[in-house]
Amino acid sequence: METLERLAQFRQQVYQTCPQRPAALLDLVDAVAQTPRPHSPAELSLSMQRHWTTLYDALRHGHINLDTLRPLLAQTASTAAPFRVDGCRVVLFDHTGFPRPAARTVADRECYPGPNGVPQVGHRYSWLCQLVDAETSWVAPLDVERIGPGDKPVGIALTQLARLAQTSAEPIIGVGDREYGVDDMLRVIPKLPGVPVTTVTRVRSNLVFYQPPPPRQPGQRGRSRIYGARVHLNDPTTWPSPDWQADKVLATGERIERQGWASWRRRGIGEVAVQLIQVRVVRADGQPKYKQPLWLMVVGHLDWGAAAALYQPRWREETWHRQAKDLFGWSRAQLGDVERQDRWSWVVVLACWQLLLARDVARDCPRAWERGAGDGPLPLARVQRDYGRILQQFGLQAPAPKPRGKAPGRPVGARLERKLRQPLLKRRLKAA
């Protein structure tokens, strides 16, 4: 299927997942996809076919059937994101903030740690994105969900993985940072229904694990032991001999030392065995480059070398967060309501998808002071710059904007009720 034909089919399928205001929502998605760095949602109306008030009407009264859209994105990603590791699709899960420090009438605001540990006020959103290829920073966002007052990031991420496992036809490998609770992952991941799910997450270097229990001796009384010797990740004297080792020398003279252990367990979850991988970077003079080594925990079964290399592309998730906030203006929108904010987040997701499907036919349009992108797929910003031309080559079978005439306006003497101020939520989550 040609690129434009596949893009047109995807747009038609998205149009069918919107039972209310479908044409207005898709018009808004097109405006986001072709307007780089908007200062506010009102600026998007310059690229829309409809009146600027339709933008806010779509976010307020529009509806997207997420139960239909999420499987559509997972199915489309099976061909649009061909990157696989051992036959599994690789997804990244992480969360980022949506600052709203001055929105005192918006519900469910909370204090959360921002960049460099600086406290921020607003909302947090959990993102689930699939790797598209091995070289570029492109990702295919599959799910986005706001972390509510009673939720934890690890709980929302596990819910997103569970939904994807039930709709995907291929096994899944999830990659996450160390903020996601170790014990929660061990309790939930092995029991997820659907396709097999394997996770590779970074863990803190002060955790405690246990070796496999020793074999039962002849004539031994009592029940068999569940745990073996105690292992402290920050105490090398407690480590047994590694089950796997591999070194790699870089062109700079630095050496990457990797070693792994199999079948370790956590206290209270002895039935789940995990792999632990340590990654150390040593300079050419023999001194460690970082104060602490990198520890990775694998829940499931994965090749040692593949598991050790999977954490490296996790930076693409953070790159996507910056692109969503900068290129699409995701966190600059001040919509006055959390439901509109959630709907706006899905508009940004669909805008990214249209650029992903159109990147093969996009032209590089560098400005006079910019360099060309070179060979290979164009970056997201360059495709966004050319999407307006691509959009003119085909159309959606949607009704044209209807002239509504002049609005009657607010009745004489009507008074608007003042919005109530919402309390600021403050919570302290217990570390895993």
Output the pTM of the full model. Answer: 0.91
Are 3 and 358 within 8 A, CB to CB?
yes
For residue range 306-324, what is the model confidence (pLDDT) as tens digits? 888 899 899 999 999 999 9
- Residues 127-141 have a mean pLDDT of 94
User: Cα 45 vs. chain centroid, distance in angstroms?
Assistant: 28
DSSP for 28-57, written as a single string: HHHHHHH-SS-SSHHHHGGG-SS-HHHHHH
Average pLDDT over residues 408-429: 82
DSSP per-residue codes, 69-116 = HHHHHHHHHHHH---EETTEEEEEEEEEEEE-TT-TTSTT-EEEE-GG
268: left (phi over 0), alpha (psi -120 to 50) or beta: left
Mean pLDDT of 122-132: 96
Which amino acid, 89? R
> For the ranges 108-122, 276-290, 394-408, which has the lowest average pLDDT?
394-408
Q: What is the mean pLDDT of the chain?
A: 89
Q: Is the pLDDT of residue 200 over 80?
A: yes
Position 160 scores a pLDDT of 96
302 pLDDT higher than 60: yes
Residue-level pLDDT at 29: 93
Question: For the chain, what percent of residues have pLDDT higher than 70?
Answer: 97
DSSP string of 357-420, one letter each residue: HHTTTPPP---TTS----SSSPPHHHHHHHHHHHHTT---S-PPPPP------SPTT--PPPPP
Q: In the chain, pLDDT over 90 holds for what percent of residues?
A: 59
pLDDT of 431: 43
